[in-house]
Structure 1
Amino acid sequence: MRKLVVGTFVTLDGVVQAPGAPDEDTDGGFTNGGWTVPLFDDELGQRMVELTERSDALLLGRRTYEGFAAAWPLVGDEDPIAAKLNRMPKYVVSRTLERPDWANTTVLSGDVAEEVAKLKEQPGGEIHVSGSGTLIQTLLRHDLVDEFVLVVFPVLVGPGKRLFGEGTGPGALELVGTVTTPPGVAMSTYRRSGPLQVGALGPEQV
């Protein structure tokens, strides 16, 4: 079965909203967009190239898809991320998009959980999810995420859309590896490792 990997930029207080620009996503009156930019260095850029090269398909929500589709085709193939994204299979979850402009795009218009489960059963390599906060909540709710690559920026932004929001259920994760860039951005990989285990601490438990 194919592995589904959620790779996302996230603040230390768990926000994933508008990482790249002030006007990227102002839902809820969010005014702190662009929080990745001051801390995004060449080393992190190379790490993102490596993560992109791992992927065999891209799964996106409608909003993220439209942002990517408007930008990446305009970037030349000399950029390794653009070259990979432009040629790889892409799946966008939408009930209204009929004619996607980005090459190699398939629209998933049915039940999201069922459609993604079918994708995971097909032959192929890793399916990666970028951005797509609403879609991620659906994937979490249906236990479809196998691995998280969390790129945690050492900033606090307060209210905003959270990565682990309403779709999150209990479960255990295994830390596979982590690297830290000079500005303090931590890129950590976690794999699902089974059900949540609980216990108790305190002198009465000794």
Structure 2
Amino acid sequence: MSKKRNLVLYIAASLDGYIAAEDESLEWLFNVEGEGDNGYSEFYETVDTVIMGKKTYDWIIRHETGEFPYKNKECYVFTRSSIENTEDVQFINDDVVSVTNKLKNQEGRNIWIVGGGELLHHFVKEKLVDEIILTVAPTIIGKGIPLFKKGDHQLDLTLKGTRTFNQFVELHYSVKN
């Protein structure tokens, strides 16, 4: 039997745990001095599939210039609507857990949770996340979109390593089973 693929959350957050300001702005993040691409390219090579929620997809479409940023990866967007697939994206309105487990059981590299607080909440609650790579920005923004929603769930983690990229600190955890 082959090894299951890992579902990895790779994301940046403010020191007080927000992934975006209330207006969805990431300006606070871009104001921090990093180093190169802060490990992004290295991580990106470890994945062949990206998944995200519809709000995150819409944000990317609004803010990215040029071509779709995940063109060379399989990309799934979870949505409650029926939307026709594009050349780059497969829109999924089936059960998040069953679709994700199907993907995890396929051959391949890691699966990256690009974003979506709602979607991440499902993954955490259902204990589907295998690793968390969190890059912390030395900024406190006070309010915004939280990385983790409140709920009656708990994930126990094991620290795999830390790295710094100038002012950023990357924390790499595996989720205990």
TM-score bucket of the superposed structures, by smaller chain: 0.7 to 0.9
Question: 1:35 matched to which residue of 2?
Answer: 28
Alignment partner for residue 119 of structure 1, among 92, 103, 117?
103
Separation in 2 of the partners of 1:161 and 1:46?
Answer: 22
Structure 1 residue 50, shift from structure 2 partner = 1.0
Percent identity between the two aligned chains: 26
Separation in 2 of the partners of 1:71 and 1:100?
Answer: 20
Alignment partner for residue 55 of structure 1, among 47, 50, 56?
47
Q: Report the structure, 1 or 2, having the larger helix content.
A: 1
Question: 1:66 matched to which residue of 2?
Answer: 58
Structure 1 residue 134, shift from structure 2 partner = 1.4
Q: 1:97 to 1:42 in 2, by over 3 A?
A: farther
Separation in 2 of the partners of 1:117 and 1:167?
Answer: 22
TM-score normalized by the length of structure 2:
0.87
Are the counterparts in 1 of residues 9 and 133 from structure 2 also a CA contact under 8 Å? yes
Q: Report the structure, 1 or 2, having the larger strand content.
A: 2
Separation in 1 of the partners of 2:100 and 2:117?
Answer: 16
Matched, 1:12 2:53: no
- C-alpha RMSD over aligned residues: 2.2
1:169 is paired with a residue whose SS is coil
Structure possessing the higher radius of gyration over alpha carbons: 1
Alignment partner for residue 75 of structure 2, among 90, 96, 102?
90
Structure 1 residue 69, shift from structure 2 partner = 3.9
Q: 1:17 to 1:97 in 2, by over 3 A?
A: farther
Stretches of structure 1 that go unaligned for 5 or more consecutive residues are 19-24, 77-81, 195-206
Aligned residues: 174
